[in-house]
A and B are shown apart, each in its own frame.
Chain A
Amino acid sequence: MVTIYERKPGLSRRELLKRGGVGALLVISGSAIISPEHAWGLETSALKPETMATLIQLARDIYPHDQVPDKYYAIAVKGHDEMAAKDPAHKELIEKGIAELDKKAGKGGYRGLGWEEQRVALLTEIEKTPFFQAVRGGLVVSLYNQKEVWPIFGYEGESYSKGGYIARGFNDIEWL
Chain B
Amino acid sequence: MLEVKDLVVAYGKVRAVKGISFRVPQGQVVSLLGTNGAGKTTTLRTISGLLRPESGEVWFEGQRIDRVPAHKVVQLGLAHSPEGRRIFPRLSVEDNLMLGAFARKDAAGIAKDLQRVFALFEILKERRSQPAGTFSGGEQQMLAIGRAMMSRPRLLMLDEPSMGLSPLMMQKIMGTIAELQSEGVTILLVEQNAAAALELSDHAYVLEVGNITLDGTGRQLLDDDRVKRAYLGES
Is the A/B pair a real complex?
A: no
